[in-house]
Structure 1
């Protein structure tokens, strides 16, 4: 079915990497002479880029809304850039030269922004505008959206859309499990969502709860910037790295008495601060129950055909981008967005519901066999490549060999793996080495990394 511009109107919620990939592809299609629908992207922050924007605030933003971002000042990517390099806009193209494989928040956002600027993708974005409510209207087969202009501090008139695309991410609402005695702990207690600068913990003894990438990275950051000692505690068991001597691992925290923390193996120690690295909740407060994705952090969320189309209600016109647990990041968001664009433009027809349900069941059965990080990398590679084939995406995004090599290097040495270099799949360029080892680099500005 050919696209009817009058009848097709997209509401895109979120202008982070996922949402901006969607806008990039729509703008490219427009450049190619295709008729694209009207699209409005609502973004609650004052800039595009989602979590890659650094906000010094914690708690609430300048408008009194919960802070979206979890970015901290000295963050480096825990993936080599060759794992998330976009094939039609490479790092070589953007920077004009080779840069190190591991980049910082400022460098990464500069790269992503460069791609969006090539097609003026930001022209669709309404900044400082928060979506408050979305309702599906079955009689009209469309959606009503209510939003609020945060700068003017006023509700906007409701608008009608044929499609909703949710690209708000799922790393903004912290998961905070309770441990007995935490309410009387005399030191600082925070979630990684509110972690901003490792220098705050110089000379401190810390407890880090969790075994995710954030637990790993924040522990290293704090040691790098002078923390005295760190105990990592998790439910899932030790992370298994060869930690520096300042970092020890313990089983799950059992209780807290004053500054003393007790673990399930009967051991205990005193700490000055507790950092929760316990993940996030998928939260979409602007959606009613019948439209809202409810899931744990998983490689294949339920009720999403191809991990994208919400099949429970909304006549297949509600889509989610970037809601998976992630090994692949930017490239997965990109092919998801391209696939969604083709569906909305009528260039790709969705199958009948029973076929979509069968396809979802097949992926969930595959997921049951994933028991390790290498398994997860293989699973998500297969998923990404399935979307490439199904959408007609013109590039081969399979970089599982780089992921697996990177995972081996992390296991060999957690403190030196960011000193390694990798080769771009798309240009063949081998990254240059940074002039200092990661644990000795304290200036992570754009100039320090790129120049």
Structure 2
């Protein structure tokens, strides 16, 4: 890489830290802009919801008592695993501690400008610089300008709630909130709660709330009932057709009364700091045009790390960063715009043909292994270990089959291809 090449990284969470480590390793110069006063992104907990002290949206969705829903064995970086400990499913503060350890190991924190909010990213030509980044220094309440050769967008996608528009939603007299603002089950004590959405957070939070609430209904659009054992005060219901002043009417004609509705309906990909000149659009959570879900085809010196979901996150972030840097360092020649567009269209047509909807454009899940292999093959990279995908798939199966007990599972990586479950006397 040419000496003095400047990289902007937006966000000091898992993706931003992992990307910064790889950029520094490649010889680039890095500035990481972080809106909060610490590293860790969504793994940082705060009691606060809504706005922070500067009037900005609080990004973290972390709640009290969260334990990972993936085993720690697949949550570390390829070259820096999470240290061995008693359990596979660990508390959120342990992940935050791991990220701090990672930042210390690779001396990343000194590159972070804390409490710096990115206001605008735009294209400009000043000498050899291409990107103008306008940032608000929050403590000093002043706007600062920076210029960079490359921009990595690493702001995550669990911060801007996506809430459905139900008929008569304004008539409901109880509380309505999104999982983004959930902090503790204590707030649901003796309530009658409707949880909408049966993704990982919906399942998890419904179970947590059932420990304190009078009863919980989980509304989802799966054709078949979810195959797991639930508490006695828990029931499954179909999609909501409309809300009433006291509850909800379902598509099967039944109705129930509630005091609280919790929307676990996901998040919007949101990049309010990108000018229209950046050439990236987001429509129903489909971010385009991107080469391999990360490089901005219209302006390839910008890349997005971490858009795909249902993945081995830190492992994939690291792979995506290495993928982009192969091109940015000149080790591999970037395909032409026409070739990248053709590749994107071909891959997305395959997805649509398999029944994916637009809002699932970046969903991986069972397809994640193919995605990792494609990145590695395309740029001549060392691929991720197949055991990571295998263990992720097994963990997801266990989550769906036994929500109450899956976190008791303990795994051990045997080699690059295989893992084993460690039998614990306490589990039996």
TM-score, normalised relative to structure 1? 0.85
For residue 58 of structure 1, the aligned residue among 42, 49, 60 is: 49
Rate the CA distance shift 1:245–1:389 in 2: closer, same or farther, 3 A: same
Q: Paired residue for 2:189?
A: 202
Return the alpha-carbon distance in structure 2 between the equivalents of residues 377 and 425 of structure 1.
Answer: 22
RMSD: 2.5
Return the alpha-carbon distance in structure 1 between the equivalents of residues 272 and 161 of structure 2.
Answer: 14
Q: Does 1:388 align with 2:376?
A: yes
Whether the 8 Å CA contact 1:305–1:311 is kept in 2: the answer is yes
Whether the 8 Å CA contact 1:166–1:319 is kept in 2: the answer is yes
Rate the CA distance shift 1:160–1:66 in 2: closer, same or farther, 3 A: same
Whether the 8 Å CA contact 1:201–1:222 is kept in 2: the answer is yes
Task: Note the residue ranges of structure 1 that are not aligned, 5 or more in a row.
Answer: 30-35, 438-451
Per-residue deviation at 1:395? 5.3
Per-residue deviation at 1:82? 2.5
Q: Tell me the SS of whatever aligns to 1:222.
A: helix
Q: Tell me the SS of whatever aligns to 2:410.
A: coil
Q: Paired residue for 2:21?
A: 24
Residue-by-residue CA offset, 1:219-277 (whole Å, 9 max, x unaligned): 11112x32221111134555623233222121221222222321111111111100011
Residue-by-residue CA offset, 1:330-349 (whole Å, 9 max, x unaligned): 11111111222332222332
Return the alpha-carbon distance in structure 1 between the equivalents of residues 170 and 348 of structure 2.
Answer: 39
Return the alpha-carbon distance in structure 2 between the equivalents of residues 239 and 61 of structure 1.
Answer: 40
Rate the CA distance shift 1:402–1:233 in 2: closer, same or farther, 3 A: same
For residue 260 of structure 2, the aligned residue among 262, 265, 273 is: 273
Return the alpha-carbon distance in structure 1 between the equivalents of residues 383 and 10 of structure 2.
Answer: 27
Question: Which one scores higher on RCO, CA 8 angstroms, separation ≥ 6?
Answer: 1
Per-residue deviation at 1:290? 3.7
- Spell out the pairing of 1:329-368 with structure 2 (5 A cutoff): 329-368=313-352
Per-residue deviation at 1:116? 2.2
Per-residue deviation at 1:414? 1.7
Per-residue deviation at 1:177? 1.6
Return the alpha-carbon distance in structure 1 between the equivalents of residues 224 and 268 of structure 2.
Answer: 23
Deviates more, 1:302-311 or 1:236-245: 236-245
Task: Note the residue ranges of structure 2 that are not aligned, 5 or more in a row.
Answer: none
For residue 188 of structure 1, the aligned residue among 175, 179, 191 is: 175
Q: Tell me the SS of whatever aligns to 1:135.
A: strand
Rate the CA distance shift 1:239–1:39 in 2: closer, same or farther, 3 A: farther
Per-residue deviation at 1:303? 1.1
Per-residue deviation at 1:370? 4.4
The aligned length equals: 417
Q: Tell me the SS of whatever aligns to 2:57.
A: coil
For residue 14 of structure 1, the aligned residue among 6, 11, 14 is: 11
- Spell out the pairing of 1:131-170 with structure 2 (5 A cutoff): 131-137=118-124, 142-156=130-144, 158-170=145-157
Q: Paired residue for 2:294?
A: 308
Return the alpha-carbon distance in structure 1 between the equivalents of residues 414 and 378 of structure 2.
Answer: 22
Rate the CA distance shift 1:290–1:99 in 2: closer, same or farther, 3 A: farther
Whether the 8 Å CA contact 2:414–2:420 is kept in 1: the answer is no
Q: Tell me the SS of whatever aligns to 2:412.
A: coil
- Spell out the pairing of 1:437-448 with structure 2 (5 A cutoff): none
Rate the CA distance shift 1:344–1:376 in 2: closer, same or farther, 3 A: closer
Q: Per residue, is there more strand in 1 or in 2? A: 2
Return the alpha-carbon distance in structure 2 between the equivalents of residues 205 and 272 of structure 1.
Answer: 5
